[in-house]
Amino acid sequence: MNITVLGTGFAALTAVRTLRKQDANVNITVISPRKGMIYLPSLIWIPPGLKKGDDLRVDLDSFFRRKRVNFVEGEVASIENGGRTVVLACGDKVDNDGLIIASGGRFIKKLPGIEHAITPCEGIPAAEKIRSRLDGMSGGTIAIGFGANPKEPSAMRGGPMFEFLFGIDTLLRQQGRRDKFKLVFFNPNREPGKRLGPDVPARLLEMMRKKDIETHLGHKMKGFEKNKVITEGGEIPADLILFMPGMTGPAWLPNTDLPQSEGGLIQADDKAKVVGFDKVYVAGDAGSYPGPEWQAKQAHAADIQAEVAALNLLAELNGREPTARIKHELICIVDTLTHGILIKRTDKGTLMLPPCRLMHWAKMAFEWWYLRQYR
């Protein structure tokens, strides 16, 4: 049996681990533009200097050797033959008996002037640019916010922007120059962070108030200029703009017959199987999954989806009925550089703990624990 996995992010690597754990003999091929992983959750620590870019880069050569993975370097251009053939941008074709799409999504960059804003989760260069810009500023206004895909509410990453907001506030206070800066948080939603839990927005906004962070909420985004955020409710003069747009599916998706959700992601069922396709699964940011309205795009969710996808694909390939289903669970630690706020949401409710120093160190330790399996 030949299984192809697209990507080298959280979902892809969890899929590889699960496949190899369940079947010692299956042939696994990974296709990605690079043989490496970036640990995106720790980008928040690059601006204050707690981490360097190389700390978050993981060479996967050793991991792939241990797991006996055939790696193909390349960009996906299309998927043909009912999912059985992956076409690369170079023209090469890779056939499979089963496919797991874990190549991630992409940010929607349609707002006019969005090039004037830094999108932190685009990677290490973006985080390094934030650090450089902060180091070069003697004062001014920093505007930080995030948007959404209006046709796909789950396709957003708001948590990291709260971390950049609180982290920059802490950094400036540590440097003794917070009084020279104005921090403004903006969001088209009047209750940002509600996906984390019904009571979470009020508590986060109270934290902002105590830290003298201004807010601009409930106004639809119109665009950006070099020193300005423009919304339907007014403009925010800004010397530095950090903005996380909503997400949609991979750039190659329109070149395929794969079903798309209204928001442009790959439509899956509750078993992570691509609707209407045989032995084709999706995990992570590229997919749209049935479930609660509060589900979000985060590494923890991607890991869960990837394990379900791998188990169900192996079941199909071995002539069994797939039975694993996605468990919807949201867990994050909102870090402030010195403290961490643990938030967990399931169908039973939400737990949000007060800021705690231990949670900051727990988040640091989790990075080491998680990455050791790939190093």
* pLDDT tens column, 217-263: 999 999 999 999 999 999 999 999 999 999 999 999 999 999 999 99
Tokens of 288: 């749209």
- Residue 58, pLDDT > 90, answer yes
Tokens of 203: 């508590």
Among 85-99, 144-158, 290-304, the range with the most confident prediction by mean pLDDT is 85-99
How far apart, in whole angstroms, are the C-alpha atoms of residue 118 and residue 179? 23
User: Which residues does residue 170 pair with via DSSP β-bridges, in sequence order?
Assistant: none
pLDDT at 158: 86
pLDDT at 64: 98
> What is the SS3 assignment for 28?
strand
How far apart, in whole angstroms, are the C-alpha atoms of residue 265 and residue 344? 25
Residue ranges of domains in the chain, CATH in brackets: 2-105+249-317 (3.50.50.60), 110-246 (3.50.50.60)
Cα distances (Å, whole numbers) of residue 107 to 98, 147, 162: 28, 10, 18
How far apart, in whole angstroms, are the C-alpha atoms of residue 15 and residue 104? 13
**Over pLDDT 70: what percentage of the chain?**
100
pLDDT at 10: 97
pLDDT at 224: 98
Cα distances (Å, whole numbers) of residue 157 to 2, 30, 152, 170: 34, 26, 12, 21
- Residue 55, pLDDT > 90, answer yes
pLDDT at 228: 97
pLDDT at 153: 83
Overall average pLDDT of the 78-95 stretch: 97
pLDDT at 241: 98
Overall average pLDDT of the 149-154 stretch: 88
- Residue 154, pLDDT > 90, answer no
- Residue 296, pLDDT > 90, answer no
Residues sharing a CB contact under 8 Å with residue 26, sequence separation 6 or more, in sequence order: 1, 2, 3, 19, 20, 314, 317
- Residue 90, pLDDT > 90, answer yes
How far apart, in whole angstroms, are the C-alpha atoms of residue 221 and residue 111? 8
pLDDT at 92: 97
pLDDT tens, 163-216?
999 999 999 999 999 999 999 999 999 999 988 889 999 999 999 999 999 999
Overall average pLDDT of the 316-339 stretch: 96
- Residue 109, pLDDT > 90, answer yes
- Residue 155, pLDDT > 90, answer no
- Residue 156, pLDDT > 90, answer no
pLDDT at 195: 87
How far apart, in whole angstroms, are the C-alpha atoms of residue 302 and residue 254? 22
Burial class (CB in 10 A: 0-12, 13-18, 19+), 138: exposed
pLDDT tens, 352-374?
999 999 999 999 999 999 999 99
pLDDT at 162: 96
Tokens of 161: 């922007």
Plot region of 226 (φ>0 → left; ψ -120 to 50 → alpha; else → beta): alpha
